[in-house]
Amino acid sequence: MKIIRASEIGTYQFCNRAWWYQLQGYEPENKGDLAGGNEIHAEHTRGVVASNCMQVIAYASLLLAILTMIIWIIHARL
């Protein structure tokens, strides 16, 4: 029984002819363009991960500031 991979389904959805060529063992002629696209996606992924980390740091800083303000107000009233 042949296992169908998600990448095969994606290839078929994008272009069923490309999927068929892939099954027949044909290699794409634009390997350089494909490799460049992979690098662009990897660079974008790094940017998204960095952005997510900065967002977590920002929320943690905001929470710390709010907690510090609450403790300061409570301490000032005593």
CA angle (66, 67, 69) in 5-degree steps: 65
Domain segments of the chain as ranges: 6-77
Question: Structure pTM?
Answer: 0.56
Model pLDDT, residue 54 = 98
Q: Which residue has the higher pLDDT, 56 or 8?
A: 56
Query: What is the secondary structure of 3-71 as a DSSP string?
Result: PPPHHHHHHHHH-HHHHHHHHHTPPPS-HHHHHHHHHHHHHHHHHHHHHHHHHHHHHHHHHHHHHHHHH
